[in-house]
Amino acid sequence: MTDFKPIRIEGEGITLSKLVWRLYRRPAPEIIAQTLDANPHLSAGERDPFLAVGTLVNVVWDQEVAKGRSVRKVVRLFGVS
């Protein structure tokens, strides 16, 4: 079962990418794609990338991503840390 976090847009200049960044504090393209699938009203037609004030967005909530356990591996070119 997919968990959602309902968020109402309260300011101007907010994109879905920025909204997801604020929730997860990291880039999460898989969350953006799942959120768009769950909110067809966001991708209907040719729309402005900015979400309208008052729009309700059900953002997919993934506890593993929120905890910082990223699916992607980090590649280090110089040394280890």
Q: Give 41's DSSP letter.
A: G
Specify the pLDDT at position 22: 92
pTM over 0.85: no
pLDDT in tens, 55-79: 999 999 988 777 775 556 667 788 6
Q: What is the mean pLDDT of residues 28-48?
A: 85
Q: How far apart are CA 2 and CA 61, in angstroms?
A: 7
Specify the pLDDT at position 67: 76
Could you state, in order of their start, the residue ranges of all structural domains in the chain? 3-66
Q: Is the pLDDT of residue 34 over 80?
A: yes
Specify the pLDDT at position 60: 93
What the block records as the tokens of 60 is 């997919």
**3-state DSSP call for residue 23?**
helix
In the chain, what is the straight-line distance between the N-terminal and C-terminal CA atoms, in Å? 37
Specify the pLDDT at position 15: 93
Burial of 16 (0-12, 13-18, 19+ CB in 10 A): buried
